[in-house]
A and B are shown apart, each in its own frame.
Chain A
Amino acid sequence: SQQGEEDPQALSIQEGENATMNCSYKTSINNLQWYRQNSGRGLVHLILIRSNEREKHSGRLRVTLDTSKKSSSLLITASRAADTASYFCATDAGNSGGSNYKLTFGKGTLLTVNP
């Protein structure tokens, strides 16, 4: 699998339900970030979690990070139709020469929230 690979590829839920997306990666990281991309638009940064953090919250978003399993999850609670978008996790290169500006993105999870 690729660095920063999301699972599932697609998720369809009803408004009000929670949505959970997972991300796995291969190499050590400094940070892991989640981005949202609405169809045909740019990426919006949602949340960044550092390698020494295990959980982070931002509004209806909850991100967890398990460095021992090299995985992260993004939970969106009480979903809304406006949350319909693709969600990407992105990892940096970790301590490989300090090039932590270079993000590696997965292919994303397409979330559809039905009204």
Chain B
Amino acid sequence: NAGVMQNPRHLVRRRGQEARLRCSPMKGHSHVYWYRQLPEEGLKFMVYLQKENIIDESGMPKERFSAEFPKEGPSILRIQQVVRGDSAAYFCASSPGGTVYGYTFGSGTRLTVV
């Protein structure tokens, strides 16, 4: 069991470009959560998805951010027209069910916007 896989580990984008972050949950996990960690901060919830459904996106910025978890393939967090303030570590976690029994987190994608 490879755990939660995120790629890329590091991503550099120029302002205005698009960033795509991928997350493959643990085998058997159908629930995916995205969190963002700004420098010197704790993680902040962004979005919760199940296969083909967004369950809760209350932590997502209203513009430029979107997430999906298709029937096949990894979950994708997409940031359009990135700005410097988007620079952060983005973590994905998965669980077998929708309640919290200790997430398994991936190693994160560190996005740097230059």
Q: Identify the A interface with B (CB < 8 A).
A: 2, 4, 30-31, 33, 35, 40-45, 48, 88, 90, 92, 99-108
Contacts of B101 in A (CB 8 A): 48
Q: Are B48 and A103 in contact (CB under 8 A)?
A: no
Q: Are A103 and B100 in contact (CB under 8 A)?
A: yes
Shortest Cβ distance from B33 into A: residue: A101
Q: Identify the B interface with A (CB < 8 A).
A: 4, 6, 31, 33, 35, 40-45, 48, 56, 58-59, 91, 95, 98-108, 110
Contacts of B100 in A (CB 8 A): 30-31, 33, 48, 92, 100-101, 103
5 shortest interchain CB distances as A-B pairs? A105-B42, A42-B107, A45-B102, A43-B105, A105-B43
Contacts of A2 in B (CB 8 A): 42
Q: Are A101 and B107 in contact (CB under 8 A)?
A: no
Contacts of A107 in B (CB 8 A): 40-42
C-alpha gap A43/B58 in the complex (Å): 22
A-B contact count (CB 8 A): 65
Assuming the contacts A99-B56, A101-B98, asked whether A45 and B42 have C-beta atoms less than 8 A apart, the reply is no
Contacts of A42 in B (CB 8 A): 4, 6, 91, 105-108
C-alpha gap A25/B63 in the complex (Å): 30
C-alpha gap A92/B43 in the complex (Å): 13
Q: Are A102 and B45 in contact (CB under 8 A)?
A: yes
Contacts of A103 in B (CB 8 A): 35, 43, 45, 100, 103
Contacts of A45 in B (CB 8 A): 102-105
Q: Are B99 and A88 in contact (CB under 8 A)?
A: no
